[in-house]
Structure 1
Amino acid sequence: MKFIVIAVSLLSVVLIAPFLIPVRDLEGTVNPILLAEEDSMFVNIKNINIHYKSAGEGSTLVLLLHGFGASTFSWREVIGPLAEEYFVVAFDRPGFGFTSRPLGEDLEIFNPYSMEGQVELTVSLIEYLGYEEAILIGNSAGGLTALEVAASYPQKVKGLVLVDAAVYTNDADNPFFKLLTNTPQGRHLGPLVSRAFLGNSRNLLDLAWYDTGKLTPDILEGYEKPLKAENWDRALWELTLARKPYDYSKIPIIHVPSLVITVENDKIVPIEDSVRLAKELPLARLSIIPDTGHLPHEESPWEFLEIVMPFLRSLATMD
């Protein structure tokens, strides 16, 4: 009997204690529009205020999709060179950068954090920009979104460039992940988890870069600025809640010309994952950049462009 009482008491503590931890709103955050920069632009799509930047002109649209924890800032080194030949647009995916972050009842109408929502926003942006199709360049989680756009709307995707794409690293079916996201206790503490994970940008960048000596104060500031946007922590948690296991059977039926880029020193997405992706995509080729980490377009932009530009030009011959 005593054992039962102790067990019930411990269980009560486990169930109740998380709710005793206060999750207060972050102080000092503002509407992301107030963080906008000189070349920032916004468009309202499905009641989401999408932040984007554009450069160049031409009949071909190149759309850039950043990875987890990043923003349009991630493409600063390559958007200019790409724009010498193409109309290039980088946008902040839902939950990141200066794009608005809906919460609560708004998500019942349209959830931009779900994969389906991200795909719909991407396609709607292509159409808003006045194009029938686009070449998608996606890094990390942005690569997965680009892949899903190609699977769902192949007529909208002229080509894919998948940069260290986080395709096979989905942990949505992990037991701990399910426990954290499918219990009231886990949901209550979610914003604190977001703050602990993304609040220290330096640790994440150290993981993403091969030569951390290249990390300057300006780069760190560029990654930390979006953390001044209101509700970034709660939106990041909604993004986490919306994750689902990916259906890998879609990949072999994506008949879109694809360039899969990986690096020798990726500590986030194993090189083997990119090799596998290149094998499973019917029209893919694989390129490997040496002495570079998870963000080659930032750490080694010229090596990145030397691989990407010939591929983009080759797509023009397919018209």
Structure 2
Amino acid sequence: MPNEAIVYSGPYEVGRLRRRRDRRVEEYLFRRSIRTHVAMPDMTPSRIAKLVLYFIVFFVLLATFTGGMALLVMAYRLPPDMPISKKFPGLCAVPGKWVGDVKHIVWSDENQSELGAIRRQMSRAVERYGLEGQRRLMACNLDDSWGYASGKPCVLLKLTQALGFEAITYDHGITLPDHAPDELYNYLSDLGLEARMNRIWVHCRHKKEEGLDVQFEFVPERFFDAEYLFATKNVFVNLTADDETSTYTEDPALRRIIGVQFKNIPPNTDIFIKCEVWAKNIPLYMGSVRFHVRRTGPVHPTTPLLLDEWYE
């Protein structure tokens, strides 16, 4: 066979030389492992004490660092209104959807899906008070749709809970600030002295426009009774019982909700309403709610339709 026809499978190596090379590599790896090997020291009592001391120092430094960072965050990043400090109440309302800081209430007298959504919102707000709450707000729900089916919609205003808060009320019209509405001043001036004491007043007004005269009716009254209003539970003497020592327990949350009924709502008109609570230590930006109310209705054409038979 000629040499050109031979195909070599690899470099030729004698077995004896290969074994000698492998032995040298094994000896080299063994010597290197001896140089780099670090034996585990014995766990003597002194070594255990050192490890425990290292762990204690590490966790003390970690706790110090974490506590320092927490104090810095609390001092410079958290707002001054801390959870442990006393707060003043705010004003919330149902129904409607928030769009920015304005609550939009849009409905139609004949749209049952819109009326059903409003009824569900109102029912969720009132059901926690049971039959007593329904009885208190009955004048708002005479049509079983909270007035939205009869064109007299009703909204519920509720003061949020602030335990331990004591409202400082306006007991005389002369004590109202200069920016107070004249209607509220006249209302307080017409009341007797006993009817003005210890009450957080509610006032609603609408944006004045030509041909628009929205009337407001408050259910059951135009105020929140401030006596023990922000307590968890009140105990009162039962004056109707024969026994003078008998008492009854009241949940003050029931007195923190009232209804406001809007009347003379024209269809297809954007109406802007603002409701406020007035007390000396409740800021107006917390005790006010703005509404955008629109009652939709069918639009009748103002020009006659052009029928094909008119051209015959």
Higher strand share: 2
TM range, smaller chain: under 0.3
Whichever structure has more helix as a proportion of its residues is: 1
TM-score, reference length from structure 2? 0.22
